[in-house]
Amino acid sequence: MADVLEVTEAGLYCPAGDFWIDPWRPVPRAVITHAHADHARSGCGRYLCAAPGKLVMRSRLGSTSPIDTLRHGERTTFNGVTVSLHPAGHVLGSAQVRVEHRGQVWVVSGDYKTALDPTCTPFEPVTCDVFVTESTFGLPIYRWPAPDTIATEINAWWRANQAQGKTSVLLAYALGKAQRLAAMVDPSIGPIYGHGAVMKLVRAYRDSGVRLPSIDPVPPRAKRVGQGRALVITPASAAASGWLRAFGEVSIAQASGWMTVRGIRRRRGFEQGFVLSDHADFPGLVSAVEATGARRVLVTHGSSETFARFLRGRGLDATILHTRFAGEQADHDGGPEEEPESGARADDPAGGGGAEAEAP
Amino acid sequence: MKAFTALYWRLDRTTRTSEKEAVLVDYFRAVPPADGAIAVHLLSGGRQSRAVPLALLRGWAAEAAGIPDWLIDECYAQVGDLAETLALVLPDTVAAIGADSATNLGLASCVRDSVDRLRQQPDTIGKRRIIEGVWNTLAPTERIVWHKLLTGGLRVGVSRTLVARALAEVAGVDTATMLERLVAAKLDSADDYLHLLHPDVAAGSRRPYPFFLASAIEHPADTLGPPGDWQVDWKWDGMRAQVVRRGGEVALWTRGEELVGERFPEIVDAAAELPDGTVLDGELLVVQGGRQQGFTTLSRRMNRTCPTRRQIAELPCAFLAYDLLESDGVDRRQEPLATRRRRLDRLAAAAGWPTFEPRAADDPLPSSAPTVARLLLSPQLPAPDWQAVSDARAEARKRGVEGVMIKRRDGAYGTGRTRGEWWKWKVDPLEIDAVLLAAVAGHGRRAGLHTDYTFGVWDGGRLVKIANAYAGLTDVELTEIDRIIRATTTEKKGAWRGVTPTLVMQLAFEGVAESTRHGSGVAVRFPRIARWRKEKSPADAGTLADLRALIEPARLLPASPSPRPAPRGSAGQQKMLWEEEG
C-alpha cells in the first residue's frame, strides 16, 4: 500500500489529499502543526490550523493568506482524505495532524510535550498506524523535573537576585516558552518585563483567552528599569544586542532542556540554567510513541538516528524521516524563532542549524 | 555529602573568581574539620584513588536504567563526562532518605565508609550491591559528585592558589604561608585540617617553597633594557623541581608539588651530601653519556614509582640546579638573584659539581670522561648584548633545550607568576599544514561539540595520520568546524567521526622524532592548532617528506623495551598537566 505521506522538495506531502504539512516552501494548501518559524512559513495559498492557535498564527505569518481552523478533534476532508487536529501540548494552538486514507491512519505530531503547561491544551495520544515523532531530546539523559520544581527554583533565583539589587533575565523563545514562564512564576515577587518580540505574542495569547500575569514592555531610553527587582523575559538574540543595558546589573539564566547537561550550560556561559522545555523528554517520547499503538514510527528532527535505533530495539518498525525542522537548539539564538538555513536539520544541540550528511 | 555537593555546584555555577572564593570561605568556615581535611585535599588537586572502575559502573548503570550499552555511548558523546552521563540516566529512586543515606553522611565518612569500603571489597557483586544501595538515596546532582569520588575523577574549577586564598582568609594568615602549608600538609584527619587553619603553626620540615614562575616574552631586546641587568639561563626541557635537604632528610618536589624522591633514588642519594638546611631550585632531566634527553624520555622515568637498578642505569637522571632558596637553614628568597647565584656557585664549587652544557648532536663532547654526577650546575649564558641572547635561543632546538630564561639579577624569588621578574623566551614552534581526518566529541564545556581532531599529511597519494590536536581554536571556530564535521561525516562510532577531508589547519609543534609506534613513522611533539587555513584545500597540505625534513639529528635516544603510552595527549600536554611549565 502506498504511503499516505511522503517527503517532497516542498515538505511533507499527502498525494491523495493534495496538501502539505508544515511545508518549508510556499504551497497552495498547508496544514500547520504550530506557529514556530520552522513549521509555519509565510507565502502559502491557504492555511489550516487548530482553532486555539489562529491569532498566534496570524501574528506570526504576517500575511493576508486565509487561515482556516478546526476545533480539536473536528474532522474535514480533502479529496476523500480525512484530516483532524489534536492537542500536542507544545505551545498555544499546537496540534498533531491525524490523516486517514483508505483505512490507514497517520499522525504527524509536529513538536510536542507531555509535561503540563498552563498556557496550552495538554498532549493527547491519538491511535494510529504510523506515527511521525520529533526526537529533539531523544536521549535518556533528558528527563525533565516537574514544572513545579522548576517554578520554585526560578522564584528563588529571582528573589536572590532582588536581594542583591540585580535584575533577573530569563532567555526564552518569544513564542511559547516566554508565555509559559510568565504563567509559571510568582508575579507577587516583582514586576515582569517582556522584550518586544515577547510582548507581541503575549497580546496574541491574551486575545486567545490565555490568562497571563501583568507584563510590561520596556519604555524607550529608560534607565534602571524595575530598580533591580524585575524579571525580564527575552529571546537570547536581544540579550546579546545590548538591549539589556536598560536594566543595570543583571543575572542571566536560560530556560531550556539543554540546561540538563553541565557542559552545554557552561559553554553558553550561564551561571544559572533552568531545565524547562516545550519538547517531550525521553520518557515522554517513549510513552507518546507507545500510547499511539503505532507499529511503524518515523523519527524526525533531533537525535533521530539514535531514537529510531532505540525504538527498533523495542520491536517497532522505526526509521528516520528527513525533514527540515529545527526543534530546540542549544547553541543558537534562534531555534524556532528564526528561519533555519535551507537544508538544516540541526539534529544536535550544538551545531545550530548544522546539516548532517546522510549516511552513505 | 550534601554540603560538599552543594559546594561543588555553587562553584560550578559561577565563573567569577571573587565569588568562588566567597563560596569556598563559607564552606571552610562551616565544615566539620574531618570533612574539611578531605575537601581541601580534593579541591587542591590531591591524589584520588579509584574504588570502582568506570567500565563496571557504566555497565551497572546501564542495567539499572534499562538502557542498552550503545545508547550510553551516544549519551556520553553528548554529555562529554561519563560520571555525569551515568548520573543522568539512572532512574529516579530517591525515595525515603534514611539516616544512613549517603546524602546525610559527612564527606569524610562517605569517602572512608563507602569509597574505601568499596575499594577493599574484593567481590564485584558485593561492590555492586553497595553502589546500587547508595544510588537509590542520591539525587542526580549528588550522584555526579559521588561517581567522581568513586572513580577518582573529581575535578573542581578552582586553582590551588584560590583554595589557599580562601583558607588563608579563614585562618587569618597570608596566602603565601597557606600555600606553603598546603604543599606539605597531610590531609587525612580533623587534626590535619585544624593544623592547616591554625593562626600560627611552625612550618613542616621538608616543605618546599612555592615555585616562582616565568612569563612568556616575545622581544626581550625591545622591553627589558640593558642586558647586564639580567641573568640568562637555558630553558631546559625537563621537569621543574626543588631539592629540599633538611633535618637529615632529602625531599624531591616537582612543580606540581608532588613528592617524587622514590622515583629518583640516584638524585636523593647525591643530595644527601648537601649541607643540612639547603633548598635548590632546578630541573630534573635524563642525563646520559654527557648529553641530556628531552621530557619524553624523562616521562618514562616519571612513570616508574620504584625504578629497578637496571631501569636507573638505562635512563639515569640528574638534577640541574639554577637557584638556591635556602642555605644554612636560612630562607634566602628575599636576597637578589645575583647573591643567590653566587651562593649556589660557591656550593657547587665546594661540592665539585660539574657545570652542564647542552650540546648539539654533532658537537663532540669534551675529552674528559662523561659525567656521572647526579647534581649538576646549570650554566649562566654570557649575554653581553641582546643579539647574543637571540643567537643562543636560535641554537636552542639544536641543543635540545626549549629556549632561554631571562631573570632579573636584583630580583627576589617571588611566589606564583609575577610579571617582569622572570621571562621565558622559547624557540618558535615548527609548523606544517595538515588535513583534518577525524574528530571526537569534546568534554567539559566542549561537550557535544566535535573538538578533538586527528590530522594527516600527504604520503604519495594518501593522507597519513600524524597527530591529534585540540587546542588553539576559538569557540566560534569550534562551532563552525563542528558543523562542517557533521556535514562531511563518512563514518561514525560513538563519539568518533571520520570525515571527508576538507579542512586544513596549520599545526604548530615542538619537534619531530622517528617513531615505531605511529603508522606514519614519525611522532610530533606537543602539536596544537596555530590557525585554520580556510583559504587552503587539502591538496595544498604538507607532506610526510616535509615533516621528516624537520627531524633533528638523533640525540641518542635509548631504546626502551616497553614504552608506556602516554595516558592522553602528547608528552608536551602531559608536561603541562604535571607541572604547568614555568
User: Residue A171 falls within a domain, yes or no?
Assistant: yes
- Chain B nearest CA to A2, separation (Å): 31
pTM here is 0.69
Average pLDDT over residues B222-248: 91
Cα gap B136→B132, rounded to integer Å: 6
| Residues in chain A within 8 Å Cβ distance of B15 | 269, 271
Cα gap B502→A47, rounded to integer Å: 42
A18: left (phi over 0), alpha (psi -120 to 50) or beta: left
Task: Enter the DSSP assignment of A36.
Answer: S
Structurally, chain A folds into a number of domains equal to 2
* Contacts with B, A 262-321, CB within 8 Å: 262-264, 266-267, 269, 271-272, 303, 306, 309-310, 313
- Chain B nearest CA to A268, separation (Å): 8
A105 and A49: one domain? yes
User: Residue A333 falls within a domain, yes or no?
Assistant: no
Can you give the residue range of the structural domain that contains A296?
6-135+280-326
Average pLDDT score, chain B:
84
| Residues in chain B within 8 Å Cβ distance of A267 | 445-447, 449, 475
A199 and A345: one domain? yes
Amino acid type, A167: T
Cα gap A251→A243, rounded to integer Å: 14
* pLDDT tops 70 at residue B138: yes
Report the range out of B101-105, B203-207, B248-252 with the highest average pLDDT. Answer: B248-252
Torsion angle (degrees, nearest 10) of CA B151, B155, B161, B164: -60
Is B487 close to A350, i.e. CB distance below 8 A?
Answer: no
Is A351 close to B483, i.e. CB distance below 8 A?
Answer: yes
Task: Tell me the CA distances in angstroms from A51 to A32, A70, A122, one per residue in order.
Answer: 11, 5, 15
User: Residue A285 falls within a domain, yes or no?
Assistant: yes
Cα gap A161→B489, rounded to integer Å: 45
Is the model more confident about B318 or about B146? B318
Chain A residue with Cα closest to B16: A271
* pLDDT tops 50 at residue B97: no
State yes or no: ipTM above 0.90: no
3-state secondary structure of A320: strand
Domain CATH for A91: 3.60.15.10
| Residues in chain A within 8 Å Cβ distance of B475 | 267
Which phi and psi (to 5°) does residue A51 adopt? -55, -45
Q: Does residue B23 contact residue B11 with C-beta atoms inside 8 Å?
A: yes
The angle subtended at Cα A270 by Cα A333 and Cα B453, nearest 5°, is 75
Chain B residue with Cα closest to A310: B71
Task: Tell me the CA distances in angstroms from A227 to A21, A162, A223, B174, B401, one per residue in order.
Answer: 47, 9, 9, 39, 60
Note the pLDDT tens digit of each residue in B170-215: 998 877 678 778 877 788 888 889 888 887 655 556 778 889 999 9
A229 and A122: one domain? no
- Chain A nearest CA to B153, separation (Å): 16
Q: How far apart are the first and last CA of chain A?
A: 27
Cα gap A207→A52, rounded to integer Å: 10
Q: What is the pLDDT of residue B174?
A: 77
Domain CATH for A268: 3.40.50
A123 and A203: one domain? no
User: Residue A159 falls within a domain, yes or no?
Assistant: yes
| Residues in chain A within 8 Å Cβ distance of B447 | 261-264, 267
User: Residue A11 falls within a domain, yes or no?
Assistant: yes
- Which of B483, B490, B491 should we substitute to test contact with A (largest number of A Cβ atoms within 10 Å)? B483
Q: Where are the beta strands (DSSP E) in B442-509?
A: 450-459, 462-469, 489-493, 496-499, 504-509
Q: How many CB pairs below 8 Å do chains A and B form together?
A: 98
Is A306 close to B489, i.e. CB distance below 8 A?
Answer: no
| Residues in chain A within 8 Å Cβ distance of B14 | 271
Task: Tell me the CA distances in angstroms from A243 to A197, A255, B293, B436, one per residue in order.
Answer: 12, 19, 58, 40
Chain A residue with Cα closest to B87: A141
3-state secondary structure of B160: helix
Among the residue ranges A259-273, A307-321, B13-27, the one predicted with the least confidence is: A259-273
Rg of chain B over Cα atoms, rounded to whole angstroms, equals 26
H/E element, A169:
strand A167-171
A224 and A345: one domain? yes
* Strand B450-459 with B430-441, pairing: antiparallel
User: Residue A167 falls within a domain, yes or no?
Assistant: yes
Note the pLDDT tens digit of each residue in B285-300: 999 888 888 887 898 8
Is A272 close to B13, i.e. CB distance below 8 A?
Answer: yes
**B535: which residues sit within 8 A by CB, 6+ positions away?**
none
Average pLDDT over residues B529-555: 85
Is the model more confident about B520 or about A122? A122
A32 and A100: one domain? yes
Q: In what order do the strands lie in the sheet with B403-408?
A: B215-216, B422-426, B403-408, B230-235, B380-381
Is B15 close to A140, i.e. CB distance below 8 A?
Answer: no
Q: What is the pLDDT of residue A340?
A: 31
User: Residue A142 falls within a domain, yes or no?
Assistant: no
Is A356 close to B482, i.e. CB distance below 8 A?
Answer: no
Cα–Cα nearest to B298, from B282, B313, B284, B314: B284
Is the model more confident about A24 or about B552? A24
- Which of B486, B499, B500 should we substitute to test contact with A (largest number of A Cβ atoms within 10 Å)? B486
Q: How far apart are the first and last CA of chain B?
A: 36
Cα–Cα nearest to A329, from A37, A87, A58, A114: A37
Cα–Cα nearest to B212, from B62, B58, B324, B368: B324
**CB contact A46 to B (< 8 Å):** no
* pLDDT tops 60 at residue B556: no
Chain A residue with Cα closest to B474: A267
**CB contact A191 to B (< 8 Å):** no
Chain A residue with Cα closest to B492: A359
| Helix-strand-coil split of chain A, %, nearest 5 | 25, 25, 50
H/E element, A101:
strand A95-101
Is A356 close to B489, i.e. CB distance below 8 A?
Answer: yes
H/E element, B282:
strand B278-288
Average pLDDT over residues A303-307: 91
Helix, strand counts (H, E) of chain B: 22, 23
**CB contact A103 to B (< 8 Å):** no
* pLDDT tops 50 at residue B92: yes
Is B475 close to A272, i.e. CB distance below 8 A?
Answer: no
- Chain B nearest CA to A250, separation (Å): 14
* pLDDT tops 70 at residue B257: no
* Three cell numbers, residue B449: 561539540
Task: Tell me the CA distances in angstroms from B373 to A100, B244, B400, B558, one per residue in order.
Answer: 90, 18, 20, 19
**DSSP notation for A222-276:** -SSGGGG--EEEE-HHHHHTTGGGGGSSEEEEEESGGGGSHHHHHHTT-SEEE--
Is A354 close to B482, i.e. CB distance below 8 A?
Answer: yes
**A9: which residues sit within 8 A by CB, 6+ positions away?**
A25
Q: Is A159 exposed, middle or buried (0-12, 13-18, 19+ CB in 10 A)?
A: middle
A228 and A253: one domain? yes
Chain A residue with Cα closest to B448: A350
* pLDDT tops 90 at residue B48: no
Is the model more confident about B416 or about A172? A172
Chain B residue with Cα closest to A360: B490
**Percent of chain B scoring above 90 in pLDDT:** 36
Is B489 close to A357, i.e. CB distance below 8 A?
Answer: yes
Nearest to A261 among B12, B79, B490 (CB): B79
**B260: which residues sit within 8 A by CB, 6+ positions away?**
B241, B252, B253, B254, B284, B302
Average pLDDT over residues B330-351: 95
User: Residue A334 falls within a domain, yes or no?
Assistant: no
* pLDDT tops 80 at residue A346: no
Q: What is the pLDDT of residue B115?
A: 76
Nearest to A263 among B81, B475, B483 (CB): B81
**CB contact A333 to B (< 8 Å):** no
* Three cell numbers, residue A87: 492537542
A25 and A122: one domain? yes
What confidence category does residue B560 fall into, taking pLDDT thresholds of 50, 70 and 90? very low
* pLDDT tops 60 at residue A12: yes
Cα–Cα nearest to A133, from A318, A346, A359: A318
A285 and A270: one domain? no
A123 and A39: one domain? yes
Cα gap B480→B484, rounded to integer Å: 7
A53 and A198: one domain? no
Is B490 close to A267, i.e. CB distance below 8 A?
Answer: no
Nearest to B85 among A141, A313, A349 (CB): A141
Task: Enter the DSSP assignment of B348.
Answer: H
A306 and A322: one domain? yes
* pLDDT tops 90 at residue B47: no
Interface of B with A (CB under 8 A): 12-15, 65, 67-68, 70-71, 74-75, 78-81, 84-85, 88-89, 92, 144, 443-449, 475, 479, 482-483, 486-490
Chain B residue with Cα closest to A313: B68
What confidence category does residue A332 fall into, taking pLDDT thresholds of 50, 70 and 90? very low
| Residues in chain B within 8 Å Cβ distance of A350 | 448-449, 479, 482
| Residues in chain A within 8 Å Cβ distance of B501 | none
Is A330 close to B448, i.e. CB distance below 8 A?
Answer: yes
Is B81 close to A141, i.e. CB distance below 8 A?
Answer: no
Length of chain A: 360
Q: Does residue A141 contact residue B89 with C-beta atoms inside 8 Å?
A: yes
| Residues in chain B within 8 Å Cβ distance of A331 | 479
What confidence category does residue A134 fall into, taking pLDDT thresholds of 50, 70 and 90? very high
Nearest to B448 among A142, A143, A264 (CB): A264
Q: What is the pLDDT of residue B94?
A: 54
* pLDDT tops 50 at residue B112: yes
Is B75 close to A141, i.e. CB distance below 8 A?
Answer: yes
Task: Tell me the CA distances in angstroms from B110 to B84, B100, B106, B150, B284, one per residue in order.
Answer: 19, 10, 6, 10, 38
Q: What is the pLDDT of residue B535?
A: 87
